[in-house]
């Protein structure tokens, strides 16, 4: 699910100007309450995530759940 990596990049472009911390896998894991290794597995598509997990990713990355599974615009 390399789209998560693309969404992290988009998050950084969109929100860094407002003075927020840059997003990376470590920070994403902290905000999701999971391990960096689990985030890495999701980013690489080595494991599926539940709908609840997808919703948490979408909330943290300020995107729609659909964006996790479709081309990033």
pTM for this prediction: 0.82
Q: Where in the chain are the domains?
A: 2-69
Angle between helices 36-44 and 2-15 (to 10 degrees): 110
Q: How many CA atoms lie within 13 A of 9 on its CB side?
A: 8
pLDDT 10s digits, 5-62: 899 898 888 877 777 888 999 999 999 999 999 999 998 888 888 999 999 999 999 9
The two three-digit tokens of residue 60, written as one number: 């943290």
CATH number, span 2-69: 1.10.260.40
């Amino acid at each position: 699910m390399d789209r998560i990596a693309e969404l992290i990049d988009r998050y950084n472009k969109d929100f860094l100007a407002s003075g927020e911390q840059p997003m990376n896998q470590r920070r994403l894991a902290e905000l999701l309450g999971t391990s960096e290794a689990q985030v890495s597995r999701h980013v690489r598509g080595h494991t599926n995530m539940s709908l609840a997990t997808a919703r948490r990713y979408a909330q943290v990355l300020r995107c729609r759940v659909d964006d996790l599974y479709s081309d990033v615009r």
